[in-house]
Amino acid sequence: MKMNKKDVASIAIFIVLILSFVLLINSITTKNNGRELQIVRDAVKNAALTCYAVEGVYPDDLDYLREHYHLSYNEEKYHVFYEPLASNLMPSIKVAERGGKMDK
């Protein structure tokens, strides 16, 4: 079976379309993961700010926010680094996907 130029061009176009589709899906997934990290970081920050507004101090740890301010996130997927600086200074909050990238 002999392939003519039309067949080769059709196969090349098909391969280009498949590769474009794979790259598009990868790009969408990467953007969504970055948004999820930001959402978790914002949830922790908002809980800490609420605690400060109500009690006048930032909490010492995430457990306090979970217990008193109902903070919840997928702990199997994300690791939150919560470092209190002082009772009147906003803590350092960083979120990392377990086995993956980190939110700044």
Whether residue 102 lies inside any domain: the answer is: no
Residue 38 domain-assigned?
Answer: yes
Q: Angle, to 10 degrees, between the axis of helix 5-55 and the axis of helix 62-69?
A: 80
Using one digit for the tens of pLDDT, what is the confidence trace for 48-94? 999 999 999 999 999 999 999 999 999 999 999 999 999 999 999 99
* Ramachandran assignment for 70, one of left (phi > 0), alpha (psi -120 to 50 degrees), beta (any other): left
| Closest to 46 (Cα-Cα) out of 23, 74, 65, 18 | 65
Give domain status of residue 85, yes or no: yes
Domain with 70, as residue range(s), is: 5-97
Q: How many domains does the chain have?
A: 1
- Specify if 89 maps to a domain: yes
Q: For the chain, what is the largest distance between any 2 Cα atoms, rounded to a whole number of angstroms? A: 81
The answer, as to whether pTM is greater than 0.75, is no
**Other beta carbons within 10 Å of 48:** 22
